[in-house]
Structure 1
């Protein structure tokens, strides 16, 4: 009889656990930070973006067939790509997506994606993409109000780190704006031309000197003039 009662209680416990999980899933987390409980799937998708053809629309079929991400673990991927700006709201890849496909543009694109999806994190730490795990957890806890050991805190962290692995290599100037090797800012605007006249940042001036030579058949007069120019001006 005791065995039968325990067996009868098991479905009830499972139902209660499922109800609690559903309640947790529906809970609204302050800060609106995107996350997935399967960061490994997100990492594999990000790894495949540069080597896969850019689709007209990034659908669940494309995600499953081309990216190899299926089932419940793949469900958060498209919303995350939208939140970070790699896809627009219709699911079409953006210019940022195309930039992420390139070796040269990938770090800057990943940093921009982080700033899009985790704007509140960067409002609290503008160099969050270079922050270590402990510092990121502190920021996430401060934003969400969740305890450090809450599973969602870990999910947000590992989702952030999936992009951070690429963004750490992004180059920045003194003003904090990313630049590419082509000499352009990430918004496509060219860098200001060097107005100094040299690459060392010092002001350099150029003079044009017109020399009017006297009319004479004495070569020594010309020689004396050019020796003087060489000694005093050149």
Structure 2
């Protein structure tokens, strides 16, 4: 059975609106007045993006910004929030290909046509592909990190201690020691280090500095 897939007829305007949402304060309700006044985006094209934000899960049916909307405004979580919205919007495509967000354009186009029953060259199909491509370009589909890394404390200007999630598994090895033929026990460790999902090099520098100080010594 053919399924409808959400799309925007004003992809550029939608992307611009998403960018403006990051810097604007969170309204009590996300309305056309908020869009035209606070986001400085007037006209029917901008207003038509509001229903799509509701489909994304950014705005509730009564216009209230959701937790996902607030998460999107956090620079550290913005791309992950879009990734969650993407999976919500295109769950039907995920039933057909669980890695649809990484698929090539032609493969995605084929899935859209198969799912909707529409024509490959129709305006609806083109809008659907264009909307999907814009969203996956600004999204992150990696799972959130299992490691809690404390960033520098801005209150005193010093970095708080970082405690990486490390699991050490002891391994025993019997090896010769000395010249008298005795046997000794060498203790070694296998260290599993789960790194955070971030592109900030300072986070990794801090983690490996902590690793050196607490486990490896000078």
TM bucket normalised to smaller: 0.5 to 0.7
Distance in 1 (alpha carbons) for counterparts of 2:133 and 2:126: 10
Instruction: Give RMSD over aligned pairs.
Output: 2.8
Report the alpha carbon displacement of residue 43 of structure 1 after superposing the two structures with TM.
0.8
TM-score w.r.t. the length of structure 2 is: 0.66
Residue segments in structure 2 that go unaligned for 5+ positions in a row:
150-163, 173-181, 187-218
Match of 1:55 in 2: 27
Match of 1:76 in 2: 48
SS at match of 1:204: strand
Distance in 2 (alpha carbons) for counterparts of 1:181 and 1:68: 39
Which of the pair has more CA radius of gyration?
1
Do the aligned partners of 1:104 and 1:181 also contact (CA within 8 Å) in 2?
A: no
Report the alpha carbon displacement of residue 183 of structure 1 after superposing the two structures with TM.
4.3
Residues matched between the structures, number: 164
Match of 1:116 in 2: 88
1:103 and 2:75 correspond: yes
Give runs of aligned pairs for residues 118-133 of structure 1, distance below 5 A: 118-133=90-105
Residue segments in structure 1 that go unaligned for 5+ positions in a row:
1-28, 172-177, 185-192, 207-229
Give runs of aligned pairs for residues 9-88 of structure 1, distance below 5 A: 30-88=2-60
Report the alpha carbon displacement of residue 30 of structure 1 after superposing the two structures with TM.
4.2
More strand by share: 2
Q: Which runs of 4+ in 1 moved over 6 A?
A: none
Do the aligned partners of 2:9 and 2:127 also contact (CA within 8 Å) in 1?
A: yes
Distance in 1 (alpha carbons) for counterparts of 2:16 and 2:22: 11
Match of 1:232 in 2: 184
TM-score w.r.t. the length of structure 1 is: 0.62
More helix by share: 1
Distance in 1 (alpha carbons) for counterparts of 2:147 and 2:100: 25
